[in-house]
Amino acid sequence: MAARTGGQGGKQPTINDVAALAGVSKKTVSRVINRSEFISEKTRLAVQKAIETLGFVPNPQARALAFRRNFLIALLHDNPNAQTVLNFQQGVLDAIKDSDLALLVRPVDRGSDKMLDDVRTFLEKQRPIGAMLLPPISENDELARLCEDLGVRYVRVGSALLDDAKHCVSSNDREVVGEAVRRLIALGHRRIGFVRGPAGFRSAAEREKGFREALAEAGLRLADEHYAPGNYRYTAGIEAGEKLLSLAEPPTAIFCSNDEMAAGVMSVAHGKGIAVPGQLSIIGFDDSPTATHIWPTLSTVRWPIREMGVRAARTLVADFLGPSARIPDGESPVLASTFVERQSVAPPAGKA
Amino acid sequence: MAARTGGQGGKQPTINDVAALAGVSKKTVSRVINRSEFISEKTRLAVQKAIETLGFVPNPQARALAFRRNFLIALLHDNPNAQTVLNFQQGVLDAIKDSDLALLVRPVDRGSDKMLDDVRTFLEKQRPIGAMLLPPISENDELARLCEDLGVRYVRVGSALLDDAKHCVSSNDREVVGEAVRRLIALGHRRIGFVRGPAGFRSAAEREKGFREALAEAGLRLADEHYAPGNYRYTAGIEAGEKLLSLAEPPTAIFCSNDEMAAGVMSVAHGKGIAVPGQLSIIGFDDSPTATHIWPTLSTVRWPIREMGVRAARTLVADFLGPSARIPDGESPVLASTFVERQSVAPPAGKA
DNA sequence: CGTCTAAAAGACACCGGTGTCAAAAGCAAG
DNA sequence: CTTGCTTTTGACACCGGTGTCTTTTAGACG
């Protein structure tokens, strides 16, 4: 492997080269790079020109060392939904686009008992300025404590207000689930089934809460037989579908705590010859690609994951992103999810 | 924001602290860190102990500066399939797990005319050791040239042999598409439709080639009316389905160049009351999550994306990964894709 | 025109490691 | 006990930037 470190066949210019060309000291060049105010316009322009002539780009490692701080932020995730991770990541990148920051992405195995050690090693080795924790690991308090101990800033992303606005970004899932369920009720549905997310996940608990509240408002209650546990996976949707759709009086609508499980329920309906949405309405959650790739297309709740990425980054490192990224004091860390109605929802049979 | 740079309330120990505690020079500590062979066992153990006592972790920025090389590799992608990106990423992380390397992830907007500039800026700023290019941007020769010019190693990941084994990792898509098509033919299908990927994508061309070759082997040919263009998106699948399934004599099987388009075709079939697989067999490509989330589940081609991630990383930075990562000379850079048969394939109507 | 002050620029150490080369230590042979 | 060699260790410069403090310069004022 060639030992070249870059440049069209030569070495990258350094701050010394720029200083020599501009006829100033390297410290002055440094001031220009860092937009110091104590510099005359004339000098600034001369240095600027030298920088451009040479195509100088400051070495981030050297800066990191001198600043005693690198320009990395980390995204820690263990989300089963790849699209979610990537959308969030895109939001973060939108936010840091014009800054000096770069993004390190780090999948985490929440099942592993070495998880905390792994993360600790990672953080100690890379020493990012801050870390963003995606659900479900954002719900892990030990992880947050670890960041705190290591002096790494952190932001937890979740579906419920976890902490304070400084360490948290979330969306109003509970309310929007309620909205979706009210829509079903307005269409005439009375027997509405529910497929839950995994135990111990705050998101799952929130969605269930929103569901139950909306039912209660309308004077309905969730029959035990219309309740199915789940784990956010397709196969859990299959099992839930088998359970709910084999009942003597099956529900006329089913709310599933995510799209994958909704797709599973829909498969079972197809297999049993139950028309969707004619005989069964289905609602999911996530607005994953699957939601528009199945037939009929799935009504679902879209959470503003990309915007949450932007917000998380701003919450974490507003001081690196320029004034436009500043989040006004007291601004709520809760972003709005929306109910997206598609083909999978209709009035119950006999109510057209 | 507190100015702490880490550690349980204090500063991180440096190499000097270790040297002082062990009673040696910092250079000796450096030798231990870097597993130099010119060091006595006695000294090594003493230094080792000091390192552990202090919980010393070398500062990666300082090392990067002194080594004149950082320990980052970059993953550049613009893949519409998030799962693919994440799986590949996981493979890369598997490969670099026990090394000093870290992974930078960088989405690229291939539509933008500033794309090359963006990537150049990124590479100049971060100066990763190497970059991995995922399809479709791996097919961009200018991008590869840019890496070359900047002295950044690169590996192109793709569905066809793009270059030489040093810069390329791919899978044998063409052959496996042939296998899938031969399976359809063996089941009795004679009118087999084809939905193509976007023009200018090598992957699309490869898949078409495999398809046509298999037909030709069996003495069949692709009727023009059974051919539909596409762009790898769901909506293109819808359009293709509308076209192919409105024919007086529609195909009894359709090969789609990816799963999303297959899902679109399947939706159209459902809408028209055409039973899948009873009246129409469908095959996709990618084995994306969608493939198992639709009903009936989709037969498809799975490419070994995670293994390709491992291989790409090893190809790129074998010299950083220890002897077990070494790729034997002459080993083929082509990994095996596999045909996965699921519910969406059956003999044509009347041939059961 | 000299004095005073604030703004601008520079000198030099330093961040935490590694490379180079010379010095010290260990050891066998004379 | 030297000598001569190899192995091990250390001193010191250096990577490419920034922080601190000092010096120089420019402008205001008497």
Q: Compare all CA atoms of chain A with the CA of B145 and give the residue at the minimum distance.
A: A8
Cβ-based neighbour number of residue B9 at 10 Å: 8
Q: Write the Ramachandran bin of A52: left for phi over 0, alpha for psi from -120 to 50, otherwise beta.
A: alpha
Question: What is the pLDDT, as a whole number, of residue B127?
Answer: 87
Question: What is the pLDDT, as a whole number, of residue A2?
Answer: 31
Question: What is the pLDDT, as a whole number, of residue A352?
Answer: 55
Q: Are A13 and A6 in contact (CB under 8 A)?
A: no
Question: What is the pLDDT, as a whole number, of residue B5?
Answer: 35
Q: Which residues pair with A300 in a beta bridge?
A: A340
Buried b (16+ CB within 10 A) or exposed e, A164-197: ebebbbbbbbbbbbbbbbebbbebebebbbbbbb
Name the least confident of A63-67, A100-104, B295-299: A100-104
Separation CA A38–CA A237 (nearest Å):
64
Query: Tokens in use for A140?
Result: 């892990």
Give the range with max mean pLDDT: A22-31, A97-106, B97-106. Answer: A22-31
Query: Tokens in use for B251?
Result: 């195909």
Q: Write the Ramachandran bin of B297: left for phi over 0, alpha for psi from -120 to 50, otherwise beta.
A: beta
Query: Tokens in use for B140?
Result: 């961009």
The burial of A302, by beta-carbon neighbours within 10 Å (0-12 exposed, 13-18 middle, 19 or more buried), is given as: middle
Question: What is the pLDDT, as a whole number, of residue B37?
Answer: 87
Separation CA B131–CA B149 (nearest Å):
13
- pLDDT tens, residue by residue, A237-291: 999 999 999 999 999 999 999 999 999 999 999 999 999 999 999 999 999 989 9
| Domains, chain B | 1-56 (1.10.260.40), 67-171+305-337 (3.40.50.2300), 173-303 (3.40.50.2300)
Residues whose CB is less than 8 angstroms from the CB of residue A327 and which lie 6 or more positions away in sequence, other chains included: A311, A314, A315, A318
Question: What is the pLDDT, as a whole number, of residue A153?
Answer: 94
Stated in angstroms, how far is A133 CA from D4 C1'?
A: 63
Stated in angstroms, how far is B13 CA from C23 C1'?
A: 29
Residue A351 has pLDDT above 80, yes or no: no
Instruction: Give which of B15, B52, B61 to mutate to test A binding, by max A Cβ within 10 Å.
Output: B61
- pLDDT tens, residue by residue, B114-168: 999 999 988 988 889 999 999 889 988 899 999 998 889 999 998 666 557 789 9
Q: Report the gap between the CA of A336 and the closest CA in chain B (Å).
A: 24
Mean pLDDT of the region A152-160: 86
| Ranges of chain B with pLDDT below 70 | 1-10, 159-163, 351-352
Buried b (16+ CB within 10 A) or exposed e, B18-33: bbbbbebeeebbbbbb
- Percentage of chain A lying above the pLDDT 90 cut: 71
Residue A3 has pLDDT above 60, yes or no: no
Distances in Å between the alpha carbon of B58 and those of A71, A121, A152, B61, B301? Answer: 17, 12, 17, 9, 45
Cα B298 off chain centre by: 21
CB-CB neighbors (< 8 A) of A68 in chain B? 5
Average pLDDT, chain A: 90
Question: What is the pLDDT, as a whole number, of residue B27?
Answer: 95
Angle at B111 between CA B110 and CA B112, to 5 degrees: 95
Separation CA B131–CA B117 (nearest Å):
16
Residue A8 has pLDDT above 50, yes or no: no
Residue A312 has pLDDT above 80, yes or no: yes
Q: Name the residue closest to the C1' of D10 by its CA.
A: B25
Q: Which nucleotides of D are covered by protein (CB under 7 A)?
A: 7-12, 14-20
Comparing CA positions, the residue from B316, B334, B341 lying closest to residue B326 is B316
Question: What is the pLDDT, as a whole number, of residue A9?
Answer: 39
Mean pLDDT of the region A167-189: 95
Confidence of residue A163 (pLDDT cuts 50, 70, 90): low
| φ, ψ of residue A167 in degrees (nearest 5) | -120, 20
